[in-house]
Amino acid sequence: MDAARFLSCPEHSTRRQFLKTLSQGIGSAALAASAAPYVGRAALPDDETLGVALVGLGNYATGQLAPALQETTKCELTGIVTGTPSKAETWKKKYDIPEENVYNYETYDRIADNDNIDIIYVVLPNGMHAEYTIRAAEAGKHVLCEKPMATSVQECKDMIAACETAGVKLSVGYRLHFEPHHQRVMTLGQDEVFGPVTVMQNGFGFRIPDSATDEPHIEWRLNKEMAGGGALMDVGIYAIQGARYVTGEEPVAVTAQEYKTRPEVFSDVDETLFFQLEFPGGTVVDGSTTYNGSYNRLYATARDGWFEISPAYGYGGVEGRTHDGPMDFKSNVNQQARQMDAFAECIRHDRSPRVGGKEGLRDLEVIEAIYESIDAGNTRVEIG
Amino acid sequence: MDAARFLSCPEHSTRRQFLKTLSQGIGSAALAASAAPYVGRAALPDDETLGVALVGLGNYATGQLAPALQETTKCELTGIVTGTPSKAETWKKKYDIPEENVYNYETYDRIADNDNIDIIYVVLPNGMHAEYTIRAAEAGKHVLCEKPMATSVQECKDMIAACETAGVKLSVGYRLHFEPHHQRVMTLGQDEVFGPVTVMQNGFGFRIPDSATDEPHIEWRLNKEMAGGGALMDVGIYAIQGARYVTGEEPVAVTAQEYKTRPEVFSDVDETLFFQLEFPGGTVVDGSTTYNGSYNRLYATARDGWFEISPAYGYGGVEGRTHDGPMDFKSNVNQQARQMDAFAECIRHDRSPRVGGKEGLRDLEVIEAIYESIDAGNTRVEIG
């Protein structure tokens, strides 16, 4: 089936109907396999925004995504999914969300019938990403899923397949792809501006205080089923991502080590992990993550110089420098607003998202190899 | 034998004779084993300096130690040992060194008869440290030996034994023990000022360009017999030292990995190594060293904060900070001048050197365990 024919169908007279039908059209196997871009997206009015529903109203949705959606220009917050009625009431008032766009986990699938929601942003605990992404796809909605994409490689594959089958676009919430310092180091590394990158040191960690282990946003992080893993799944993944987008390559092997200083707190998930990645071009990466201390840095040395982002991985306050001096980006951007607008633009113009499902899958492949190395006594494990 | 009785001996009428006889006295096994401090060192005139002979007039002796010896107040450059007659001529003129204090490697042992030389500073390639330290001890001279102390644990033990037998003091050239930022992090770590240190990231590396491999100061570094190892022996050792003096503990286990991107250059020694150290108090250290890139940083995160020195390991330009802000040391000190004056003061007042032979020995134990882990397929090796 050729999706282009939808463009001239008279019944696609509204933007949302257009998108919905387009999604269904993309769902055909023939189309999913086609690399040919669609044409004629200019038919979509430029001043219309896509509707986003946030699924899971925890800290990140509340503190980052909802505020970011007040700054987006290509999409807007139109719906929410929450299991907590009091949260629903608060959000409805605060963000002027109509009752018909408020869902809970029983009514979630009915979003399929809601033309005011084009994108579902899955912000649930990691263990729920796969299910709610697949159900979003089945509802015909495009999906932005938070990182880690899922808790296993198999889940990632299932999610990608479900979105392909449904003909919806899938992106993973790697917000730093939309942050100028990170975009700069992608160029510096991939274009070998200072020669080939030889050694990287990427670390991200924060401390979970003993006193905070029963706070809601921490509690699920300590539960293997909900989180999929510990510091590695949560923040170490940034160090893996960083290594991959600086080199522009996929790691071929890894060694890893695990340490626990508070086994009573981290009985189910990892507290501190070191991992060492080998890339085919020769770059080696010294990676580190922890729930028992504070660090936040991407560093790369190359044949003819070095570059660094430190602090690297926060929502703001990112600072970068090279051997030549500071990276001079004037101000902090709203990473999440950029990310969501970029995804909306991909949908509007039917382009592949900058951060597709494979980005999430690749990181999970590395994560599984890291755990495999630890289980195998720290020995070298080949990836892929 | 009680060395204190030397103090009243009429024949010890000159400083140098006094020191020489004292050294011989300390040489007795009974005395070497005694922990009791000597008394009465005030008998040594305060305004006299000890004489230092530099053995090996390479880059470090030329660029750092000789200039530092112009700033010392407790010791001075009185002699040299070199196999290169033209160097001898240059140094004699530049530093006003009399012909009778100039030695080569054939005449080296005759320093025993030279009362103007109290301290021999061994600045030779690593593979020669043990021999020239032991011969210095046998000549009755106190010894400062550059890091790494030697190329094996056994050599370190032999050197310590030789100095004990000869009753001379032995110190290792870990200059950063005399640098204020490093002294501060020893306090921050060992006194747990921000709580126990949980994770450290210590890395030191520089790039040996392909074009420089036949330069004299590089050539020996690429030769296993002369250097004992590659980047690890040369600069990685700072990361090990740093971990040990921040924690104030000895590591109990290590894992390690080796990488080579230029095997044709590094056929004999290591190019890039990562190593992970476990300390008994729970600190884990992510260590890194290379001859294929530039980094130079000591970082520690603790329960209640963090501290960092970056750049950390240079002769100057050291900068430190904590989560509270910059470490406010007004100016760079001359690390080597401080180190040599401190050693001279230890000799004068018969105290144990701040950096004794055991400091060098412990690092070599870790280095041997790192190589063992690599040989064993990156598995965990217990130390000691």
Enter the ipTM.
0.88
Question: Would you tell me how many other CB atoms lie within 10 Å of the CB of residue B260?
Answer: 18
The pLDDT of residue B25 is 40
How much is the average pLDDT of B229-236? 98
Question: Would you tell me how many other CB atoms lie within 10 Å of the CB of residue A14?
Answer: 12
Question: At A309, phi and psi to the nearest 5?
Answer: -120, 120
The pLDDT of residue B169 is 98
Class of residue A382 by CB neighbours under 10 A (exposed 0-12, middle 13-18, buried 19+): exposed
Nearest CB partner across the interface for A295, out of B201, B255, B292: B201
Query: Contact A276/B274, CB-based, under 8 Å?
Result: yes
Both tokens of A345, joined, read 């633009």
B203 vs A19, residue with greater confidence: B203
Query: Contact B292/A199, CB-based, under 8 Å?
Result: yes
pLDDT above 70 (res B308) = yes
- A2-25 confidence digits (pLDDT tens): 333 322 333 333 444 444 444 444
Closest-CA distance, B206 to chain A, in angstroms, reads 10
Query: Contact B379/A380, CB-based, under 8 Å?
Result: no
Contacts of A198 in chain B (CB under 8 A): 207, 261, 272, 290, 292-293
Contact B286, B201 (CB under 8 A): yes
- A156-165 confidence digits (pLDDT tens): 999 999 999 9
A323/B contact by beta carbon, under 8 A: yes
B99 vs A38, residue with greater confidence: B99
Question: Would you tell me how many other CB atoms lie within 10 Å of the CB of residue B326?
Answer: 9
**Three-class DSSP category at A259:** strand
Contacts of B376 in chain A (CB under 8 A): none
Give the confidence band of B116 by pLDDT, cuts at 50, 70, 90: very high
**Lowest-pLDDT range of A284-288, B271-275, B325-329:** B325-329
B219/A contact by beta carbon, under 8 A: no
Closest-CA distance, B293 to chain A, in angstroms, reads 5
Q: Which of A264, A278, A295, A321 to mutate to test the interface with B (most CBs of B within 10 A)?
A: A295
Give the confidence band of B321 by pLDDT, cuts at 50, 70, 90: very high
Contact B248, B266 (CB under 8 A): no
How much is the average pLDDT of A184-212? 97
The pLDDT of residue B319 is 96
| Domains of chain A with bracketed CATH | 3-175+338-356 (3.40.50.720), 176-332+364-382 (3.30.360.10)
What distance in Å separates the CA atoms of residue A87 and residue B301, rounded to the nearest whole number?
37
B295/A contact by beta carbon, under 8 A: yes
pLDDT above 80 (res A202) = yes
A310/B contact by beta carbon, under 8 A: no
pLDDT above 60 (res B28) = no
- A132-145 confidence digits (pLDDT tens): 999 999 999 999 99
Contact A232, A291 (CB under 8 A): no
Q: In what order do the strands lie in the sheet with A142-145?
A: A102-103, A75-81, A50-55, A119-122, A142-145, A170-172
pLDDT above 60 (res B30) = no
Both tokens of A225, joined, read 């089923």
Q: In what order do the strands lie in the sheet with A381-382?
A: A325-326, A320-322, A305-309, A295-302, A197-205, A284-290, A272-278, A253-259, A381-382
How much is the average pLDDT of A227-256? 98
Residues forming a β-bridge with B79: B53
Contact A239, A298 (CB under 8 A): yes
What distance in Å separates the CA atoms of residue A118 and residue B89, rounded to the nearest whole number?
84
- B64-77 confidence digits (pLDDT tens): 999 999 999 999 99
Give the confidence band of B384 by pLDDT, cuts at 50, 70, 90: confident
What distance in Å separates the CA atoms of residue A242 and residue A25, rounded to the nearest whole number?
35
Contact A250, A292 (CB under 8 A): no
B284/A contact by beta carbon, under 8 A: yes
- B262-300 confidence digits (pLDDT tens): 999 999 999 999 999 999 999 999 999 999 999 999 999
The pLDDT of residue A148 is 98
The pLDDT of residue A9 is 33
How much is the average pLDDT of B209-235? 96
CB pairs under 8 A between A and B: 102
The pLDDT of residue B339 is 98
Contact A158, A182 (CB under 8 A): no
Query: Contact A198/B286, CB-based, under 8 Å?
Result: no
Percent of chain A with pLDDT strictly greater than 70: 88
List the one residue out of A161, A117, A176 whose CA is nearest residue A142.
A117
Give the confidence band of A384 by pLDDT, cuts at 50, 70, 90: confident
Nearest CB partner across the interface for B378, out of A203, A272, A380: A380
**Lowest-pLDDT range of B33-47, B127-141, B304-318:** B33-47
Task: Note the pTM of the prediction, 2 decimals.
Answer: 0.89
Contacts of A291 in chain B (CB under 8 A): none
Mean pLDDT of chain A: 90
The pLDDT of residue A44 is 52
How much is the average pLDDT of B107-130? 98
The pLDDT of residue B23 is 44
The pLDDT of residue B16 is 47
- B182-191 confidence digits (pLDDT tens): 999 999 999 9
- In sequence order, which residues have a C-beta less than 8 Å from that of residue A108 and are 6 or more positions away? A55, A81, A132, A135
Contacts of B306 in chain A (CB under 8 A): 293-295
Class of residue B149 by CB neighbours under 10 A (exposed 0-12, middle 13-18, buried 19+): buried
B291 vs A37, residue with greater confidence: B291
The pLDDT of residue B43 is 42
Query: Residue ranges of the alpha helices (H) in chain B?
Result: 15-26, 29-32, 59-60, 66-68, 85-95, 129-138, 153-166, 180-190, 216-219, 224-227, 231, 237-247, 335-348, 357-375
pLDDT above 60 (res B80) = yes
**Lowest-pLDDT range of A137-146, A331-340, B231-240, B358-367:** A331-340
Give the confidence band of B45 by pLDDT, cuts at 50, 70, 90: low
Give the confidence band of A332 by pLDDT, cuts at 50, 70, 90: confident
List the one residue out of A299, A337, A333, A336 whose CA is nearest residue A318.
A333
Mean pLDDT of chain B: 90
The pLDDT of residue B46 is 62
**Three-class DSSP category at B149:** coil
- B350-378 confidence digits (pLDDT tens): 999 999 999 999 999 999 999 999 999 99
Give the confidence band of A373 by pLDDT, cuts at 50, 70, 90: very high
